[in-house]
Amino acid sequence: MCLSITQHLLENDEVLKTIIPEVTLPDMASTGQVFHDLMSCIIEQQIHYRSSKHTFTKLLQKAGLPLLTPDNFSELETKALQGVKLSSRKYETMVRILEFFQQDVPDWQNLTDDEVRKTLGNIKGVGKWTIDMILLYTLERDNIFPVDDYHLKQLMVRLYQLDPKAKLAANMKSIAEHWSPYRSYGVKYLLAFKAYEKEKSRLK
């Protein structure tokens, strides 16, 4: 990440000004694979870059798959998903994702953020939070703010002294506007700070 992005965040947010010197952003090498990461979100209820349970990774290892694709999905089903308790709703969403990717798939890098939202949003069962995770971590877009993210809500309520019962989403968005056009980095710094606090507490 270039210095100008960090400087922009430091100059435009007093909370981040305190947090940024304390943390280092984790090195998350994107797979760049939308199908793989979508399935991670559906199976694990979290994108695997951020997961501490590693459920999706363990399933892939069991199936002997380094990367999940539409072509090898049947191997995951037969070798790893048997006996795993998935709700019918989750499984139906996975089937819809598979069917979508078995057709003509767009070049995601050539789509705008809104075009990605519209395209993935047409798959029933794929919600706003999941799409935000794809934009933020898989496609590594610069200006994504996942307002529905549970951990982000918790952090911003505490760090920015927001009322969780009064216009929370609107107030979160208002704060994040000061980070534009680099809202993704503001989000990542906040989440890195959460991990930093957890580790610091563990070492006490």
| Span 9-47, pLDDT tens digits | 999 999 999 999 999 888 877 889 999 999 999 988 766
Distance CA 137, CA 117 (A): 14
Instruction: Write the burial class of residue 108 (CB in 10 Å: 0-12 exposed, 13-18 middle, 19+ buried).
Output: middle
Is residue 52 over pLDDT 80? no
Average pLDDT for 100-118: 96
Tokens 């949003």 locate to 121
Give the relative orientation of helices 168-177 and 183-203 as an angle to the nearest 10 degrees. 110
Tokens 């430091």 locate to 10
Structure-token pair, residue 27: 């090195």
The closest of 171, 116, 182, 112 to 145, measured between CA atoms, is: 182
Which uninterrupted H or E stretch holds 129?
Answer: helix 128-133
Distance CA 86, CA 103 (A): 25
Structure-token pair, residue 178: 């000061």
Is residue 56 over pLDDT 70? yes
Position 49 scores a pLDDT of 64
- pTM, entire model: 0.91
pLDDT greater at residue 46 or residue 121: 121
Q: What's the N-to-C CA distance of the chain in angstroms? A: 31
* Cis-peptide, bond into residue 181, ω within 30° of zero: yes
Phi (first) and psi of residue 114, to 5 degrees:
-65, -35
Is residue 203 over pLDDT 90? no
